[in-house]
Structure 1
Amino acid sequence: MPDAPAPLAPTATAAPPLATTDPTDRASRIAGADGLRALAALWVVGSHLFQRLAPQPGSWVEDVRLVMMKGPFGVSIFFVLSGMLLSAPFWRAYLTGRPFPRIGHYTRRRVARILPGFYASLAVSSVVALALVPDAPYRLVRLLAGVTFTSGFHWATFFPVPLNGPLWSIGFEVVSYVLMPLAMWGLFRLHRRSTRIAVAYWVAVMAVVVGANQWIVTTLVPSAEGRGWQYGDVGGAKEWMPSYNPVGFFAHFCLGIAAAAAITWWQLRRDGRRHWGFDLLAAAGLGGAAWLVWVNREPAEPLYLTNYQGQPYLFPWFAGLVAVALVGLAHSRVLGRLADNRFARFTARVSFGIYIWHYLLISVVEHYSDGGLAYGAITDPGTHLAVSAAIVAVTYAIATASWRWIERPALTSRWARGGAVRPGC
């Protein structure tokens, strides 16, 4: 990209406001973000439900099962999305010559968005786990690590609570929430501002992240003792690590930061003009990501050891294509609006609740079904469809309640919105 445009006046209206991850802010959405968020949330839920369906060899249902089992790729979508949405105000401030955004406001919004819902799920999951699996190892230290968002730094604490495995990624994402503004602060501290300097700077940041991750995956390998899912979730964490680590996942986040840079640059240089070329770009990104999933649909459980640096979710190809799709959707003429349909917008609004509550519900149903919902226990696709529909419906009800009574009150509180906010923050 050429050098940055001349700084805009604080009252300039050359481009529409950039989105944040605040679902209450309807005026500042980036087209396509809600659609991808909804897809990621439902794909993650689908993967955990299709784990319960036995293989269906020789049937089209088996292809559906295999694709749905790749639902953990939705975690990568979440990281790319967060990187794009959270870094966008920083890019706008940088490219318009404004000061570094107020970090206090950024911190309050992140705290209000994550802590209430996550702590509620963590608390309920801990009580349920104490009743259903009283012999779970490292219970207290895992809970403490979860509360402090440090669970991802050791295999013993990787899953902060039994029975609700997906909570592992929240701590990882919080680490990225910290690393992004720190890295952006370094960019703002440079004496000159230009797009070329910014691109070179973030290429250097990505190189440091990749280098640090290489050291982690080759040095911090857990011992083989008790390693594997046959030893429970702690053994499974030992198998996942160090391929799953917060630094490696920040690389997914960085690809979202790159997407935000491109989106912001276009908004400032071309007034956010929509163009059919962006529809083609979005289609290429989405189609490429879907093709990657399809050709890698077997085996059912996603493999990652042969990927770049042993990273999960076909990094960097899948995450990179998601970033490309986001750039295209943001300024597309049709695809962005199609992606952000009414159902997708509602699902995106309650997606955090869907993510943090669905697996606990599945675990409770599995416990009280005497193995009827165990891994691969359902042989009839019709029965699986009915059970899955019921669990999804209850999950939506819980997530909606979580949004209405826990998440939204925190986000709209005076504390969360308090303080003067510089334009673009």
Structure 2
Amino acid sequence: MNKSNQTVNHLGGADGFRAIACLAVIFHHLSQFLAMQSQSPWMQELQSFLLMGNAGVSVFFVLSGYLLASPYWHKYLDGSAYPDIKQYVVRRAARIMPGYYIAVMVATLITVLFHVPTEHFWARLMAGLTFTAGFHYITLFPNEVNGPLWSISFEVFCYVLMPMFMLGLYRWTFKQRSIRNGLLYWMGVFILILGLNQLVHLFFSTGNEGKGWDNGWIGGAKYWMPNYNPIGFFGQFTIGILAAGVAAGLRQSSEGLNRMKYIGLFDFVSLGGLFCSFALLWYVRHMPEFSLSLQKQPFFFPFYSLLIAVSLCAASQSRWAAKILDNRVFKFTSKVSFGLYLWHFVIIGVSSVTWAKDFQYMGTKSLSTWFSVSGVVLVVSFLFATLSFYFVEKPVLHWSHGKRKFMGNTHQPLLEA
């Protein structure tokens, strides 16, 4: 197997996981607009399951850690020098900033034009623009219109920490590079992150005054934090980094083994792990938030993120699982996933105050109305995301890679993580 084929196979399944994560988050938000008590029992159960789709955020973090760490593991095991950090920074900025800044400014413009009541307007806007929103509950949500933007500052924080810790790996084991030493190092980092996260809980717990979603976005953020915090989310990101290391080790081992002998096992583990991740969400669909979680971290940490990591890692070595996950629909959804994440919530909000005024939080009693409005929102979201990719994201990515043509290959980890 040549090097290019190895790279593609190594990242097999990534498009599918990104698409699943994105669609799960969208249906999580859409499901919040269906009046559960007015539905039949089977629909109530399905709605409870769809509401667990916010766990797609965890998939994004695991996947980003996996993709961004992959080239570092490549060079580490090949005995190469530490990757060019300038290139990493430029490409990360090119991937995140253009689409994100437009989304922030449009949401801010809507807030101003429609006189949406907002507390701490300037502090939240500046925190959003500087990717520091996640360090305090007042600024966690940059504005009142586009709630999902909260995760971007956490993601950027992980982008900063990952190469710093990777530099430690390169220097610590520069004479004895091996997958064993690398994984031990990153398991040590994981334990360190858990310890630091415990300190965050100890010293930065929020008070009860104004706490809870009944008090708006800031009250909701106060309820979330410190269970939601940048350090804790790097723990989920680290699980993806460890998965990338395991995948690199498997790839290295397969060069001297008959990989075809085990390929069916990888398909079974990948699809089985994905099935178990859905089963876990079904099992916990009626449990309180932050239950079944280490350190009360969101998304049933680390059990859910570990299932995703195992499935993703095995997909990289599989024959059929990667092909199933990377189908045409998922590949396109993956390509425009960042735009989908940035715009779907704004489209839901604008729809609920213009043409679909019955589409209110837990207020839509008619299932057919909910399906119709949700379908329109989904189509419009894909339209906005496609325009965002081809007219905003792609040209900047093209520039950052110094290419005359950019094909939008989602198998390039520094482009699409």
Q: How many Å apart are 1:133 and its aligned residue? A: 4.0
Determine the structure 1 residue equivalent to 2:207.
Answer: 223
Per-residue Cα deviation, 1:303-335 (whole angstroms, up to 9, x for no partner): 115521010100000000000000111111111
Alignment of 1:321-332 (within 5 A): 321-332=307-318
Determine the structure 1 residue equivalent to 2:275.
Answer: 287
Alignment of 1:183-194 (within 5 A): 183-190=165-172, 191=174, 192-194=176-178
In the superposition, the TM-score normalised over structure 1's length comes to 0.90
Determine the structure 2 residue equivalent to 1:394.
Answer: 380
Determine the structure 2 residue equivalent to 1:22.
Answer: none
Alignment of 1:102-251 (within 5 A): 102-190=84-172, 191=174, 192-251=176-235
Which structure 1 residue ranges, 5 or more long, are not aligned? Answer: 1-11, 19-26, 419-423
- In structure 2, distance between residues paired with 1:187 and 1:85: 17
Determine the structure 1 residue equivalent to 2:16.
Answer: 35
Determine the structure 2 residue equivalent to 1:73.
Answer: 55
Deviates more, 1:54-63 or 1:316-325: 54-63
Aligned letter for 1:291?
A: A
1:256 paired with 2:240, answer: yes
- In structure 2, distance between residues paired with 1:77 and 1:90: 20
Per-residue Cα deviation, 1:60-88 (whole angstroms, up to 9, x for no partner): 21222111101110000000000000000
1:376 paired with 2:380, answer: no
- In structure 1, distance between residues paired with 2:51 and 2:382: 20
- In structure 1, distance between residues paired with 2:293 and 2:71: 32
- In structure 2, distance between residues paired with 1:258 and 1:278: 17
**Number of paired residues?**
399
Deviates more, 1:243-252 or 1:266-275: 266-275
1:16 paired with 2:5, answer: yes
Q: How many Å apart are 1:16 and its aligned residue? A: 3.3
Q: Relative to total residues, which structure has the larger helix share, 1 or 2?
A: 2
Deviates more, 1:358-367 or 1:241-250: 358-367
1:51 paired with 2:32, answer: yes
Q: How many Å apart are 1:15 and its aligned residue? A: 6.8
Contact map agreement 1:142 1:151 (CA 8 A) in 2: yes
Per-residue Cα deviation, 1:250-270 (whole angstroms, up to 9, x for no partner): 011011001101111222221
Aligned letter for 1:206?
A: F
Q: How many Å apart are 1:355 and its aligned residue? A: 0.1
Q: How many Å apart are 1:203 and its aligned residue? A: 1.2
Contact map agreement 2:10 2:247 (CA 8 A) in 1: no
Contact map agreement 1:209 1:248 (CA 8 A) in 2: yes
Cα pair distance change 1:340/1:367, threshold 3 Å: same
Deviates more, 1:322-331 or 1:266-275: 266-275
Cα pair distance change 1:145/1:370, threshold 3 Å: same
Residue 138 of structure 2 aligns to a residue whose secondary structure is coil
Alignment of 1:404-415 (within 5 A): 404-413=390-399, 415=400
Q: How many Å apart are 1:202 and its aligned residue? A: 0.9
Determine the structure 2 residue equivalent to 1:268.
Answer: 252
- In structure 2, distance between residues paired with 1:99 and 1:87: 15
Corresponding residue to 1:298 among 265, 286, 302: 286
Contact map agreement 1:282 1:335 (CA 8 A) in 2: yes
- In structure 2, distance between residues paired with 1:54 and 1:134: 25
- In structure 2, distance between residues paired with 1:290 and 1:256: 18
Aligned letter for 2:131?
A: F
Per-residue Cα deviation, 1:147-196 (whole angstroms, up to 9, x for no partner): 11100000010001211000000110000001111000000012431222
Cα pair distance change 1:236/1:371, threshold 3 Å: farther
Aligned letter for 2:208?
A: A
Corresponding residue to 2:325 among 339, 342, 357: 339
- In structure 2, distance between residues paired with 1:346 and 1:412: 18
- In structure 2, distance between residues paired with 1:133 and 1:269: 60
Corresponding residue to 2:265 among 265, 277, 301: 277
Contact map agreement 1:52 1:373 (CA 8 A) in 2: yes
Contact map agreement 1:70 1:293 (CA 8 A) in 2: yes
Residue 66 of structure 2 aligns to a residue whose secondary structure is helix
Determine the structure 2 residue equivalent to 1:360.
Answer: 346
Q: How many Å apart are 1:347 and its aligned residue? A: 0.2
Cα pair distance change 1:406/1:390, threshold 3 Å: same
Determine the structure 2 residue equivalent to 1:417.
Answer: 402
Residue 286 of structure 1 aligns to a residue whose secondary structure is helix
Residue 383 of structure 2 aligns to a residue whose secondary structure is helix
Q: How many Å apart are 1:57 and its aligned residue? A: 5.3
Calculate percent identity across the aligned residue pairs.
Answer: 38
Q: How many Å apart are 1:370 and its aligned residue? A: 7.9
Deviates more, 1:369-378 or 1:388-397: 369-378
Q: How many Å apart are 1:128 and its aligned residue? A: 0.5
- In structure 1, distance between residues paired with 2:335 and 2:52: 23
